Amino acid sequence: MRGASELKSRPGRLRVARRLVDALTAALLATGLACAPQAAIPSASAPAAPPVPAAPRSDGAAPADVPATAPPAPLRVVANWTQPTGAMTGFWIAQEAGINREQGLDVELLNIANTSRVLQTMAAGEMNLSPLDPATTIRASLGGLDAVLLYAQTNRLVFGVYAQPSIQGPQDLRGRVLGTTRVGASANTALLVALKRWGLVPDRDVALRQLGETQAIYAAMQAGQIDAAPFGLPVDRALLPTQRELINLATDGPEYASIAVGGLRAWINENEEAVRRFGRAYVLAIQRFKRDKAFTLEVYRKYLGTDDPTRLEEVYALFSRTLPTAPYVTDEAMDQALADLVEEEPQLAGRHGSEWVDSRFVRELEQEGLFTSR
């Protein structure tokens, strides 16, 4: 089983990816991405044909033993998880419980932190499937990068915005510095949704500071370098003991396409069987998560990097309620995300969120009875 690992080598293809950085960033911020050709990833091969039975002997004796045909090679998929949050549960359990292997997949599991970097890596041909922020995916498509969402992880923003104790309410944020991960990350999308709700405009009413990883945001809050920031729920109270919660978007925010498994449409269309198996493994992993708490907590210890039983219990309880059994990316959730983008990207007016969703694989799983069989 391959463990989670940061993508560290493959210099040739990553040089291609780096050439796309400026173009992709422009698409995320100003929809100027030039369509980059996808480097070739070998398509997943079809399963081998079943063995041909031995012909009967003319003397009536049993046919001689014929060596069985070797089982088909597993289909290779390079997948990715992003941030250490319970939203990644399906990825982790499918890998740690051997479900990917049982479904005939050879999954290499990477850890690249946010959608803008993930899309660069996909465009370079170094990754196939990953959690994607729908808003960033839509923006990137305006520049020609055709990515599509397949399996919902959450249809709500499972984030809260927390501030220093001196901040009494959202309006006290005016003129303050807010931390975020990166433009194009789900945490940044959550922050923008909260700011819009409060009538605050980035770069006019508040300053945004991109800090990269979640742990860097916790550290900046502890050091008093920023006044507020979005955090995936539940927050780590060991690292954020005194800060004030300004909003819990999971309970008080809208239905919103927050994060979903997706990839480049061209690769998905060329590798439908691999995508189908990956989705089945993902659903089975969520089912294992909901019925096997003890195993899940052990997986959380590894990927969340904590032995704090209270935090582990909080993560399990929250995502038991949040992760959908039938992982449809809902029209309502996508339309809400799209509506927020139209103000910045007028060319999206009249479009529908379903244009960036391919639900056929989830429908197939539902027709199999997978959502009700276990």
> Does 342 have pLDDT greater than 80?
yes
Comparing C-alpha atoms, which of 43, 103, 79 is closest to residue 267?
43
C-alpha span between 170 and 246 (Å, rounded):
7
% of the chain at pLDDT higher than 70 = 80
Q: Produce one character per residue of 232-259: b if its CB has 16 or more CB atoms within 10 Å, e if not.
A: bbbbbeebbeebeebbbbbeebeebbbb
Q: Which residue has the higher pLDDT, 51 or 75?
A: 75
Instruction: Report the mean per-residue pLDDT for the chain.
Output: 85
pLDDT digits (tens, 9 = 90+) for 276-332: 999 999 999 999 999 999 999 999 999 999 999 999 999 999 999 999 999 999 999
Task: Output DSSP code: residue 53.
Answer: P
Q: How many CA within 13 A on the CB side of residue 264?
A: 24
> Does 73 have pLDDT greater than 90?
no
- What residues have CB less than 8 Å from 258, skipping those under 6 apart? 87, 133, 134, 153, 154, 155, 156, 157, 158, 159, 186, 189, 190, 333
Average pLDDT over residues 152-169: 95
pLDDT for 373: 54
Domains of the chain: 11-34+73-154+257-367 (3.40.190.10), 159-253 (3.40.190.10)
Whether pTM > 0.85 for this model: the answer is no
Q: Which residue has the higher pLDDT, 65 or 201?
A: 201
> Does 219 have pLDDT greater than 50?
yes
pLDDT for 306: 93
Q: Which residue has the higher pLDDT, 27 or 123?
A: 123
Structure tokens at 64: 């001689």
